[in-house]
Structure 1
């Protein structure tokens, strides 16, 4: 199970030098954005409100002017001897009711018949903007300066039948309009200011949330961590593939692409794809369901046999995905074989050391008994026997490592009171390749050890192991016979299977399997048959280098 905590990520941050942290930058940038938006919105609303109020006041003035112009009493008053005396009382209540600054009624010559200031009645209208109404009969809104000042006013012609006899002018002073617009603008800017403050508080909240979501890291730190993660991920010697909680691939390194797909795919073609479609035999969908890890499962992808370790990924106790790692079995086997060979050499040296110690004790005892002649005789006998073996191996075996392990096994057998012999007709003069040498060393180490284990239950006089090897012909041939109990018939079909063993105890069943694989890799074969000594006879046959396909 893989689980990440916030503290784990924060501890790995590098804290590069910076002037402002992410939170300050976000608040500042969002604040500037809010100010800019409010500024342009305020200008827009200023013009919008101004235009809207003028349009509304113009429409209101035009509506009042039309009401007055279409009043039959106004047109009737034009035919009287004193139109002003009748029109002024009719217009004044309307002006007060509509809050208009003025309602002026004039004849075709622009002489006023009504005005808010009675002294202006009888005088000519000011502004010179009545021509469109008097001459063309248009109703419109204009802005001009009259006797009361600059104003927004509506002009509507007065008809008597089809004849234009006068004009009605209804207006609102510009100063009053600007005062009204100013009130609206003040409220608008106040509202925008409140919106800006609320937005700024929201920006602080958003910045704090994002900062916490990023575990307090700055963008520079995140970039550095991402670069480090990618570098480590792509340079690791194990394949790694990860999926999210939906089973979609989220991560894939170079070694995984090499081991699983032969390096013929890219990240972009697989990221986001369902793992079941890409790798139907993957354990990851099962891991997501059961949330249980699996270790050292052997699988084959293409030409690669790999060991797969899979497990769920948690974030704060929540399942967020699963990951599998792939180790090349060939490399592990190679390392295991090398360690096994070292173990064989160490055992051989230990046997020689123990045997030599026994001989020293024998010499010491003879010296204490003052048996000098026997000491000399014993030393010459041991020296002759050792020299005979060394001379025989040097003469018959050209490869020093093979002769070395044979000599070590002879000493090991002697220590365990096992009579181990090498057929006098044995010979191995053919130069060995590294692959052949590795296969033979592993085979000799494993098979002789198995033979020693097989005969140890026998009486001392019945413990025999015989070796025969030759390179006559096209193959290098080794035979290891023992006087043990042999191999049961029901065990023969699975004798070379990984994990199968006739011995009791854990971590068994790998020696013969590894040996068989190495011999097969060198182009050879290994089989077992009944030995003339009564036990098992293992036969190893490896073609010479020129015959390897």
Structure 2
């Protein structure tokens, strides 16, 4: 169930968030790196200027010219060559009075040095300074000129225009800005792709929709009557609902099993087998410390890989009670339908004889029917004391006559009324299915007869149902009680399976005596408490 769309979707929020984080990190990086790059660039230029100043200061030509060993006019051409080669703003050589001996503007030669920052150099110090001279603001490197004998005869000033320094710093920052811009662009594209991928993984749902679906899923899982247990690929329990916990507690397994290995908490679930094989298992029985569960286990597949398994289960006793109730109702309904059908046939015969005015024959027919009915009812009522089972047997007799067979209740048959009324329900299931099975067996036999005998002695009843059918071979005897096994076609094979289950519940037993071509006899023995014995 979808909820109303938020103003900003998950994809938009994620894109903005990732872009914001990337932009913030890049801005901080720029502020930190740009200043460092600017400082390094300025320092490199200062080092360059100082190196040039030292080279000029140690030049023999400059040293000899200021020492009077050469003409001072040789200094200007040398300084100009150094300036051109190194691409600096100026190379100025001055004597100890601060008088220029070289300058890019030859008119300034012979004039005092301008800037006021040359004093320390004339006192033998090397340093860097920023000052305004005749060529404007510049970064200046000063170095003293000392003769080999140790006498200072002047100083050298190498200048680089601050305009050029700022241009160099700006060029270095441009590279940073390009990197920041490229990083931001990559971050935006990555954010869009990531948001789209996450959106796809979540099937286009928004967080509020996912939260609502999760609440609905949790409510649904907790409200179902089946126990639900899920494990991941490592066989660790990831989900267990309230009904599963109730059944586990009933079996003596307490505590919250989520996060634990399924084999450590609930043995014999076969969930690990299904996880490894990828083959689902349906309607399997699991005996869990005295409680029998009917389980279905299916693998959980994502992109063709098994990532877990889920098991649904229910108490077999509850399922059996429902199945038996449905079976009992079906058997009762069939018996009533047979009686009604037989009664309608007889009414049609009576109506026809009335129309034809065969009154004498009609009287005899009705007397015979009434006598037969009273005889059957009286006989069954005397021998079968429980009215439910007695009526059911009477209905089966009617149904047998309807299909052209004869159901005979032995004269010595006797069954007292049970102390537990639920016992009759189980007997109806056992008797009804055995008789139905016998009626199907004699359908193609020349003699269609089913004999039934009830006997009761010492708290045990014996039920014998014999037919004149074709018999059962030795191989079939071992399979006829299996669920779904039948020689009569698909969707069959439940009757004798239910008989076996009812007998297991009642601690009873069943024997088969059959030979091919000689019919079949089922003999049932089970404990039975009479109501009279309880008084």
Regarding TM over 0.5, the answer is yes
- C-alpha distance in 2, partners of 1:258/1:448? 40
Write the deviation string for residues 399-432 of structure 1: whole angstroms up to 9, x where unpaired: 4433332232232234344142254561322322
1:184-263 equivalent positions in 2, closer than 5 A: 184-185=172-173, 188-189=176-177, 192-193=180-181, 196-197=184-185, 199-201=187-189, 203-212=191-200, 214-229=202-217, 232=220, 237=226, 239=228, 254=241
Write the deviation string for residues 385-411 of structure 1: whole angstroms up to 9, x where unpaired: 545555665666564433332232232
Write the deviation string for residues 258-300 of structure 1: whole angstroms up to 9, x where unpaired: 99997777443359x9xxx98487345444xxxxx76747464
Which of 340, 343, 346 is the matching residue for 1:353?
340
Determine the structure 2 residue equivalent to 1:9. none
Determine the structure 2 residue equivalent to 1:103. 91
Which of 49, 72, 78 is the matching residue for 2:60?
72
Contact 1:134 1:167 (C-alpha < 8 Å) held by counterparts: yes
Give ranges in structure 1 of 5+ residues lacking alignment. 1-12, 288-292
| 520-529 vs 397-406, greater mean Cα deviation | 397-406
Are positions 1:25 and 2:51 aligned together? no
- C-alpha distance in 1, partners of 2:98/2:385? 138
- C-alpha distance in 2, partners of 1:126/1:195? 45
Determine the structure 2 residue equivalent to 1:7. none
Which of 542, 545, 548 is the matching residue for 2:527?
542
Q: Which has the higher contact order (CA 8 A, sep 6+)?
A: 1
Question: Shift in Å at residue 344 of structure 1?
Answer: 1.1
1:503-518 equivalent positions in 2, closer than 5 A: 503-518=487-502
Contact 2:453 2:464 (C-alpha < 8 Å) held by counterparts: yes
Write the deviation string for residues 486-517 of structure 1: whole angstroms up to 9, x where unpaired: 5555554555344555x543344332222112
Determine the structure 2 residue equivalent to 1:522. 506
- C-alpha distance in 1, partners of 2:257/2:33? 54
1:308-347 equivalent positions in 2, closer than 5 A: 308=296, 326=312, 328=314, 330=316, 333-347=320-334
| Residue 319 to residue 90, structure 1, CA distance change in 2 (3 Å) | closer
- Secondary structure, counterpart of 1:450 in structure 2: helix
- Secondary structure, counterpart of 1:282 in structure 2: helix
Question: Shift in Å at residue 252 of structure 1?
Answer: 5.8
TM-score norm. by structure 1 comes to 0.75
TM-score norm. by structure 2 comes to 0.77
- C-alpha distance in 2, partners of 1:16/1:207? 20
Contact 1:306 1:327 (C-alpha < 8 Å) held by counterparts: yes
Contact 1:447 1:538 (C-alpha < 8 Å) held by counterparts: no
Question: Shift in Å at residue 341 of structure 1?
Answer: 1.9
Question: Shift in Å at residue 85 of structure 1?
Answer: 4.7
- C-alpha distance in 1, partners of 2:474/2:185? 90
1:317-466 equivalent positions in 2, closer than 5 A: 326=312, 328=314, 330=316, 333-372=320-359, 375-376=362-363, 378-379=365-366, 382-383=369-370, 385-387=372-374, 389-390=376-377, 397=384, 399-415=386-402, 416-423=404-411, 426-432=414-420, 434=422, 436-457=423-444, 463-466=449-452
Contact 2:437 2:495 (C-alpha < 8 Å) held by counterparts: no
Question: Shift in Å at residue 256 of structure 1?
Answer: 8.0
Q: How many residues align?
A: 515
Contact 1:485 1:536 (C-alpha < 8 Å) held by counterparts: no
Contact 1:103 1:171 (C-alpha < 8 Å) held by counterparts: yes
Are positions 1:468 and 2:454 aligned together? yes
- C-alpha distance in 2, partners of 1:152/1:87? 22
- Secondary structure, counterpart of 1:509 in structure 2: coil
Write the deviation string for residues 319-353 of structure 1: whole angstroms up to 9, x where unpaired: 67786765558355544433322221121012101
Determine the structure 2 residue equivalent to 1:123. 112
Give ranges in structure 2 of 5+ residues lacking alignment. none
Contact 1:483 1:536 (C-alpha < 8 Å) held by counterparts: no
Contact 1:259 1:304 (C-alpha < 8 Å) held by counterparts: no
